[in-house]
Structure 1
Amino acid sequence: MPIKSKKLEVSSTFPWIIDQLKPTFDFTHKPLHIDNKHIELLYIKTVVDGDRLHNTVIKPFFEMQSLTNIEAYLTSLPNQQEISSKDQLLVELTKGSVAIGIKETILLFDFKKVHIDAPLQTNVEPTIQGPQYALSEDLITNINMIRQRYHQPSLRVEMYTVGKKVHQSVAILYDENIVKKEALKQIKSKLKEIDKDLILASADLTRCINNKKRALLPTTILTERTDRISYNISGGKVIILMDGDSNAILAPAVFFDFMVSMEDEYHPYWVAKFTSSLRYIGFFSCIALPGLYVGITSYNPDIFRSSLALSLAGSRVGVPYPSYIEVLIMLIVMEFLIEASIRLPKAVSATATTVGGLILGTAVTEAALASNILIIITSAVAISMFVIPINEMSFAIRVSRYVVLLFTIIAGMTGLALSLIGLFMWMANKSSYGEAYFKLFIQGKKEET
């Protein structure tokens, strides 16, 4: 049976669509007529694959003997779409569909032309071992890549539309047998509640579905890797894919998810544990080292042995301002270098930031604007930040360390300890779509082994 709407007829719907799209130069209204056979095609030629349309519809129309045969042939095509309203039909035409009017029946087919369906190289989450291809920017291609890695009949795919003006297609994927029901319910509700004209990318969609709009710590993960996606589906998480974006959203995400690299799955057990430990050490170093420097030099130099305390004090000889001003200057300069490395063209970014950092560090110490030890600490903080596999957590840590530094400036080592305790208490009190933020492991292969 044809998939059609009982409410829409060619005589009333096609003139309305033509009136809506007629000012557009690439809109095409093509009547096909031969003998007693007549059909009409409506489509936008810049988003339609013309060769497929010709081979699938136009050529068979002239080869078949009767209109009945043509209708039976068209209704048997696999890319037929359901029509629910005039507005939905209009939106589908802008996405690359073709509306065919045959008698008083309207049939809708997907003939979208896609130039961005090739898998991309992994740039954001590279690994030495494991898959080297990431998602593409085409939604259907991404769903295909995930299904090629996760062969379970319980895998469900549901489609949504977001953005009142762009009508961007969004798919959610989950394993019906093991998905976290509360998280799935909240995510579906959030997608339906989105009231925004334009959704630019998956990162923009993430902000729309977050429970708190101004949250610092991330509760979802953006990933480009298909192996991470299949691993998290097996752990009961929900995957959100957006058409036109090569990143997938994983939810719910807890703190320990952000510290996991997919390389851990490919390394031997003790190697994986060692590299994982390095990430946690880097996490604490990035947050605590600047505050620790200020607390020791300005408040509690007696914590170290006398020789080390004297060495630390000697390195600050000639520095004309307090240690917290010194730390703030170096951290802000480091932030400038990081932002410059992101914004500059790839051909010059590495050279410019490396040379700039070396020259700047040498000049600062020679001019007695900062101590040698602080230069080492600043470099260690910068390196530690990049040890964390997921960028969203790295950005949150960049902000959090200034909060810890502020408490240390006010109350010394006591402020450092209280701020770290407060930070972990805040994280322990946080939840991600019904999951405790400090929940240790996702359900899946890790728990079974």
Structure 2
Amino acid sequence: MKSRIPIKLRKLLKDKQSESQNQFSQTQTENQIFSDLKTNLDLIKEELGNSSDITTREFQAGENGELKLAIIFTEGLTNTDAVQNFILDILMEKIRFANIGPNVVNSLNWYDVIKSISLPVGSLQEISDFQKLYFHLLSGDTILLIDGYPKGLAVSLKGWADRGVQEPSAQTVVRGPKDGFSETLRTNTALIRRRIRDPNLRLETKQIGKRTQTDVSIMYLKGVANEKTVAEVQSRLNKINIDAILESGYIEELIQDEVFTPFPTILNSERPDAVSAAILEGRIAILVDGTPYVLIVPALFVHFFQSSEDYYQRADIGTLIRLLRYLAFFLALLSPSAYIAITTFHQEMLPTPLLISLAAQREGVPFPALVEALIMELTFEILREAGLRMPRAIGSSISIVGALVIGQAAVEAGIVSPMMVIVVSITALCSFIFPAYSMSISIRMLRFLFMILAATFGLFGIILGLIVMVLHLNSLRSFGIPYMAPNAPFILKDQKDNIIRLPHWALSTRPRLINQKDTRKEDSAAPKPPTK
């Protein structure tokens, strides 16, 4: 962002520069901060359009008020109480009575005295151009400018409204931590630092978005994360050229390996414990300011079926829950299509009493099985979306009551059969069991494709669709890692935390493909259970 300096101010600036004899006078460019305080303030006000939320406060300091200063901050993003206590009060009152001798002032000059001695703040950055000035100002920092000095100070006194740490709304657990990420980047990084107190935990931050200048950070364990994967993440983030980043979904879509696939290749989570566990495995977390959802790469197919609670319960309980998720995956994907195929083409597969019962139920239904299934599936999808968009107080009741009323009314009207209502209800319940919402959406999309294949080719169409889906899954990569690992390629050592979960004392190594360097866990020397 370059400053557009009006002609009158340029002439005034040239006159002032020719008259100025102080030791900091030098040739200025349009982007540099000028020595004259009034000129700087006029330029800032014009560039920001005299916005009402940009507050400017001019004042004098020094024993006799010989020093002219100004602070600039953005209301709503800056802690005004801290500005009063740590800047104005110090410079306007206490600095006059401070024990600072004239020799110290002469040797350091006022700028160095204020920077090194006067301001009791933790973060202080020197700025010399308007581009950095605008960035810090619009990020919530307080800008301090001193008359006669062609540079300023950015004082970190951010203080915007924060939702705070609350329980995650989309990824709840029965047993486990209840804290979740918020929309503030520094709060989110602190939640991870709190769990991983390792000096090798690296945090790298950059700004992405020409207009928004959104802070995007990556966190990983140096020596554990694959260096090539870290370099690939940095490279993809550096290539992003976009006006705005408003949510981590922007980043996810711009850096994913495969665009035309229904399956997600980047995992997102709002749980600090899940992200910390992924970092300890050797994966990389991408945090975006302004959203509670953190991206995790690389993300494999098995990761979307794993929940944090799997590791907080006993190994046998965690294994049972995982097996239920894989069973629910196939039921949610294939239940309607299997019903369509059997009732349309393969009636001989059903026992005679069940076949007679189904035939009696469908006697008055005027539509084929495919149309019947499409009506019920689309109705349920509409009810599900309506329940999500409605106010929380009535959203859940509307979706539940709506499904019961519409289902019962459709059966009584003879539009659908009772068996189809049961099949759709089982399918809907199974689609809610996945810890990752993105995988649930993928199954919802593929379900309609399998229904069409079943209505066209019967069970042969379903088998053909499964073969094509498996081939597609094996062709996917997530930051260079095979998407179906450790199943394809098959890695025997990684099966201990795949479909089944062995006890913690048996989880002695990290996943081989994700981590190629430090594959041994430090805590693997924990004693095994006593044996008789």
Normalised by the length of structure 2, the TM-score is: 0.79
Mapped partners of 1:343, 1:117: distance in 2 = 21
Mapped partners of 1:191, 1:314: distance in 2 = 60
> Is the 1:48–1:112 contact (alpha carbons within 8 Å) kept by the matching residues of 2?
yes
Q: 1:159 aligns with which of 205, 213, 216?
A: 205
> Is the 1:234–1:443 contact (alpha carbons within 8 Å) kept by the matching residues of 2?
no
Structure 2 spans left out of the alignment, 5+ residues = 1-27, 101-109, 487-493, 498-503, 510-523, 525-532
1:175-190 map, 5 Å: 175-190=221-236
1:54-101 CA-to-partner distances (Å, cap 9, x unmatched) read 221221213124535333225774212354742232122011112222
**SS, match of residue 239 in structure 1:** strand
Partner of 2:35: 11
Mapped partners of 2:495, 2:279: distance in 1 = 10
Shift of 1:278: 0.5
Greater Rg by CA: 2
RMSD: 2.2
| 1:194 corresponds to 2:251 | no
Q: Which moved more, 1:187-196 or 1:335-344?
A: 187-196
Structure 1 spans left out of the alignment, 5+ residues = 1-5
| 1:116 corresponds to 2:147 | no
One-letter amino acid matched to 1:24: S
One-letter amino acid matched to 1:140: R
Partner of 1:26: 53
Partner of 1:137: 183
**SS, match of residue 304 in structure 2:** helix
Q: Which moved more, 1:351-360 or 1:213-222?
A: 213-222
Decide whether aligned partners of structure 1 residues 9 and 365 sit closer, same or farther in structure 2, where only a CA change above 3 A counts: closer
Decide whether aligned partners of structure 1 residues 442 and 281 sit closer, same or farther in structure 2, where only a CA change above 3 A counts: closer
Decide whether aligned partners of structure 1 residues 432 and 72 sit closer, same or farther in structure 2, where only a CA change above 3 A counts: same
Partner of 2:298: 252
Mapped partners of 1:308, 1:274: distance in 2 = 31
Mapped partners of 1:377, 1:433: distance in 2 = 38
1:194-230 CA-to-partner distances (Å, cap 9, x unmatched) read 2221222122321122234443211112211111011
Shift of 1:130: 0.6
One-letter amino acid matched to 1:80: L
1:368-404 CA-to-partner distances (Å, cap 9, x unmatched) read 2112111111000000000111100000110011111
Shift of 1:259: 0.3
Shift of 1:244: 1.5
| 1:58 corresponds to 2:88 | yes
One-letter amino acid matched to 1:88: K
Q: Which has the higher contact order (CA 8 A, sep 6+)?
A: 1
1:265-304 map, 5 Å: 265-304=311-350
Partner of 1:237: 283
1:169-210 CA-to-partner distances (Å, cap 9, x unmatched) read 111111111113333222222222222212221223211222
| 1:37 corresponds to 2:67 | yes
Aligned positions, number = 444
| 1:377 corresponds to 2:386 | no
1:16-71 CA-to-partner distances (Å, cap 9, x unmatched) read 33431251122233232132333332222332111111221221213124535333
**SS, match of residue 281 in structure 2:** coil
Decide whether aligned partners of structure 1 residues 324 and 117 sit closer, same or farther in structure 2, where only a CA change above 3 A counts: closer
One-letter amino acid matched to 1:57: I
> Is the 1:182–1:434 contact (alpha carbons within 8 Å) kept by the matching residues of 2?
no
> Is the 1:174–1:237 contact (alpha carbons within 8 Å) kept by the matching residues of 2?
yes
1:342-381 map, 5 Å: 342-381=388-427
Q: 1:330 aligns with which of 376, 394, 404?
A: 376
Percent identity over the alignment is: 27
Shift of 1:136: 1.4
Shift of 1:236: 1.2
Mapped partners of 1:207, 1:79: distance in 2 = 34
Partner of 1:3: none
Decide whether aligned partners of structure 1 residues 206 and 82 sit closer, same or farther in structure 2, where only a CA change above 3 A counts: farther
> Is the 2:219–2:285 contact (alpha carbons within 8 Å) kept by the matching residues of 1?
yes
Partner of 1:412: 458
Shift of 1:128: 0.8
> Is the 1:182–1:433 contact (alpha carbons within 8 Å) kept by the matching residues of 2?
no
1:400-439 map, 5 Å: 400-439=446-485
**SS, match of residue 199 in structure 1:** coil
Q: Which moved more, 1:103-112 or 1:245-254?
A: 103-112
Mapped partners of 1:207, 1:74: distance in 2 = 47
> Is the 2:340–2:454 contact (alpha carbons within 8 Å) kept by the matching residues of 1?
yes
> Is the 2:183–2:290 contact (alpha carbons within 8 Å) kept by the matching residues of 1?
yes
Q: 1:70 aligns with which of 114, 132, 138?
A: 114
> Is the 2:126–2:152 contact (alpha carbons within 8 Å) kept by the matching residues of 1?
no
One-letter amino acid matched to 1:385: S
Mapped partners of 1:123, 1:84: distance in 2 = 44
**SS, match of residue 123 in structure 1:** coil
> Is the 2:225–2:284 contact (alpha carbons within 8 Å) kept by the matching residues of 1?
yes
> Is the 1:164–1:195 contact (alpha carbons within 8 Å) kept by the matching residues of 2?
yes
**SS, match of residue 264 in structure 2:** coil
